[in-house]
Structure 1
Amino acid sequence: MTAPVLETRYVFTLTVMIGAVTSAGETGIGVRRIIPIHGGEVKGPGLNGEGVSGRICDFGADFQVIRPSELIDLEAKYGFETDDGATIYVENRGIRFGPIDLLQKLKRGEPVEPALIYFRTHPRFETGHDKYRWLMEHVFVGSAARHADRVIIDVHVVL
């Protein structure tokens, strides 16, 4: 017997607004950066809502380690509220990698064609709202793009 074939289906797009980078410097494993999250929105056929207005910035951030090869390990933690009032916690881990000159442009806030950068994530969700329990019962993958003031992540459920 073989395992089921993996398939994915697009469910929504997260647009995460970000603030200025704070660096803790070289830590021995790479350069540690902390980037605050200042809200955003989620839209798509699987779910609608927007960033927890005002409250998301109190606890949301992306914690990154930039390796010497410029491979970036990402771990973002934040929450959002759906249109019908459910609060959903997000823990999104991933990697971003590409040509060093393009990654340097991104660091300076300059535009880079998203297709030239490998940026993939694995979001996990938590909520006590029954309608959205399916978010905790599935695996998700994201394809992301970094812009100067935001990160856009197309989220797909693995079926």
Structure 2
Amino acid sequence: MDTKTTMQPTTQIATEFLCTLHSPTVGAPQQIDPALTIYQSGPGGWARGPRLDAQMLTPTGDWLRAMPGGSLRVDARMSLQTGDGALIHVSYGGVISVKPENFARMSAGETLTAADMYFIITPCFQTGHPRYAWLNHLQAVGKVTGLKGGPEGFVRYDLFSLG
């Protein structure tokens, strides 16, 4: 292989808007050790998009692991229930990188946006309901659109299917 040749991609990745996912936080996080913190979502969470309208069921769990250098690795699980009764399991990993000054702003009650941090997730879906079986066949990617700490805290993402 000629190392002086610039490699060009052989394919492109297309995205299609899937939904906005809103997850309110509840209670104090569980600090397991200096590297592992567990957060739970409260009632009132939802996923809304062109083909998906669902409420988040509790309990949920977001395991955040602190990595060397200060980034966080996300491991999250939740269930959604659609208006017609379908249950959809959602699991995702991800990466968060927030500058200390932006984290301080969030801790003081300010809502952060995608411009304030790197926060990307990769959801996968599982359902047995035939109307939503199409979710079983896609990989999604999401980017945070809002993150707020405190008693009225929440995290909100826009999710896109990849193709």
Same fold by TM-score greater than 0.5: yes
Rg comparison, structure with higher value: 2
What is the TM-score when the length of structure 1 is the normalising length?
0.85
> CA separation in 2, counterparts of 1:66 and 1:104?
17
Residue 100 of structure 1 deviates from its aligned partner by: 2.1
Q: Which residue in 2 is equivalent to 1:17?
A: 24
Equivalent residue, structure 1, for 2:49: 44
What is the root-mean-square deviation in Å for CA atoms of aligned residues?
A: 1.7
Q: Percent identity?
A: 23
Which deviations, in whole Å up to 9, do the C-alpha atoms of 1:78-111 show, x marking residues without a partner? 10101111000110211110322212443x3531
Alignment check: 8 A CA contact 2:112 2:147 kept: no
Does the 8 Å contact 1:126/1:136 carry over to 2? yes
Long gaps (5+) in structure 2: 1-8
Structure 1 stretches lacking a partner, 5+ long: none
State the partner residue of 2:109. 110
Retained in 2: the 8 A contact 1:70–1:100?
no
CA contact (8 A) 2:21 2:46 kept: yes
Q: Give me the whole-angstrom Cα distance separating, in 2, the residues matched to 1:78 and 1:112.
A: 23
The aligned counterpart of 1:156 is 160
Equivalent residue pairs, number: 148
Where in structure 2 are the equivalents of 1:6-155 lying within 5 Å? 6-19=13-26, 20-26=28-34, 31-39=35-43, 40-52=45-57, 56-57=58-59, 60-106=60-106, 108=107, 110-114=109-113, 115-144=115-144, 145-148=146-149, 149-155=153-159
Shift of 1:3: 4.4
SS in structure 1 opposite 2:109? coil
What is the TM-score when the length of structure 2 is the normalising length? Answer: 0.83
Separation (CA, whole Å) in 2 of partners of 1:25 and 1:104: 21
